[in-house]
Amino acid sequence: MSNAGLCQVCENARARHTCQSCGTQVCTDHWDETIGACSACAETIGDPDDPSTGDDRPDGFRID
């Protein structure tokens, strides 16, 4: 329970955001403001070369 309120990525800084894709609470360092997701999801969402990212993301889909 000691992790409550901490970034679930680094567990070293206070969580400021909750990823809308996976629900992970992350600090500002692990938050992608542009995409609105944690750093892990940002990598997945932000990679147009990966066709396997067909998860149900109604507001995460981007067309550039």
Does 15 engage in binding with Zn ion (CB under 5 A)?
A: no
Q: Which of 17, 25, 27, 44 lies at the binding interface for Zn ion (CB under 5 A)?
A: 27
Q: Which of 6, 16, 18, 22 lies at the binding interface for Zn ion (CB under 5 A)?
A: 22
Does 35 engage in binding with Zn ion (CB under 5 A)?
A: no
For 20-36, what is the HEC assignment?
CCCCCEECHHHEECCCC
Which residues contact residue 9 at a Cβ distance below 8 angstroms, ignoring those fewer than 6 apart?
Answer: 24, 26, 27, 30, 38, 39, 40
- Give the interface with Zn ion as residue ranges (CB under 5 A): 7, 9-10, 13, 19, 21-22, 24, 27, 29-30, 37-38, 41
